[in-house]
Structure 1
Amino acid sequence: MTGKRGRPSAAEVTARDERVVDVVVAVLSDEGFEALTFDRVAADAHVAKRTLYGVFGDRAGLVRAAVLRQHAYLGEAGDAGDDLRSASRAILAHLLGDEAIGIHRAIIAAAARHPSLAVEFYEEGPGRAQVFLASHLPADATVTAGILFTALLGELHRRRLLGLAGLPTPDEIDAQVDGVLCALGLSG
């Protein structure tokens, strides 16, 4: 037997979890939530089903891990910047990406049959993003984080969800952020 025995190192655990999330994102994006099974993820990620259940719990846990990766800026507060523009840009850069769009499409398609999945997606995704934005809004802002979040995503997000637009460039993201902040009286 040539395999390593014992507990995996922290680096091995991180790499394993990233492989799992890569598979989850691919299955959700390409085939939808109904195709997401523990058998499939275990086989494609080369991970024991027992490990998957122990780490992720259930299919919703697999989806949660994929959604949380799309909101990586939440853990990178310093990288996202302390100002509203940087925070807004970080959100758009993540949520307009191919992975986030694929996950969002899969959740929309499954929402009617799995309402609890939709609720959790909203709480872990858009809900957390709005809390993040709220923490960057000026104290005297008359605009809510929900309005700002909706305006930021706007047509760029809708067109991406519908497959009518490709991945926006950094300049397009900057223009969207700057235009929204200006329109809402938050630039400056």
Structure 2
Amino acid sequence: MTGKRGRPSVSEALARDERVVDVVIALLTGDGIEALTFDRVAAEAHVAKRTLYGVFGDRTGLVRAAIRRQHAYLGDAGDGSSDLRSASRAILLHLLGDEAVGIHRAIIAAAALHPSLAQEFYDEGPGRAQGFLASHLRAEAAVSPELLFAALLGEPHRRRLLGLAGPPTPEEVDAQVDAVLRTFGLLR
């Protein structure tokens, strides 16, 4: 038997968890929610099922980890390090990417059969993104975070979900953000 036994170091555990999330995203985006089984994730990530249950809990926990990766920009929420334009740009760059769109498609396809996963997706994804926008909106802003979020994603996101467009360029993201913020009087 090769390999060490015992608890992994912090860096080994982080690398293992990232590898698991890589597998979860690949399964969701490639084969859909029904392919997301603990047996398959354990086999493809080379991790014991017991470890998966201990770290992620259940399938919802696996999905939560994948969604949180798509919203990595949320680490800046409320820390004052970015302005509304930067926050809006971060959201679009992440959510119009291939992984985020693939996960969104998988959750939509499974929503009727797995409403708890759909709720988890909303809470951890759009719900937290709207909170992120709220932390960057001035109190006197005449737009809600929900409406701003919907406008930012708008047609570019719908076209991505339907497979009618590829990921936008940074310049296209900037143009979308600027147009939406100007429309709501949030950018001059």
Q: CA deviation at 1:32?
A: 0.4
SS in 2 for 1:150: helix
Q: Deviations over 1:72-115 (max 9, x none)?
A: 00114499942100000011111111110000000000000111
| Aligned residues of 2:98 and 2:167 also touching (Cα < 8 A) | yes
| Aligned residues of 1:24 and 1:66 also touching (Cα < 8 A) | yes
1:100 maps to 100
Between the aligned residues of both structures, percent identity stands at 78
1:84 and 2:102 correspond: no
Distance 2:121 2:80 in 1: 22
* Unmatched tracts of structure 2, length 5 or more: none
Distance 1:40 1:85 in 2: 40
* Unmatched tracts of structure 1, length 5 or more: none
Distance 1:99 1:80 in 2: 27
Distance 2:185 2:147 in 1: 12
2:146 maps to 146
Instruction: Tell me the amino acid that sits aligned with residue 41 of structure 1.
Output: V
CA RMSD across the alignment: 1.4
2:70 maps to 70
Distance 2:134 2:76 in 1: 16
1:168 and 2:168 correspond: yes
Q: CA deviation at 1:5?
A: 2.0
Map 1:1-188 → 2, pairs under 5 A: 1-77=1-77, 81-188=81-188
Distance 2:80 2:176 in 1: 17
SS in 2 for 1:168: coil
Q: How many residues align?
A: 188
| Aligned residues of 1:73 and 1:80 also touching (Cα < 8 A) | no
Distance 2:148 2:78 in 1: 21
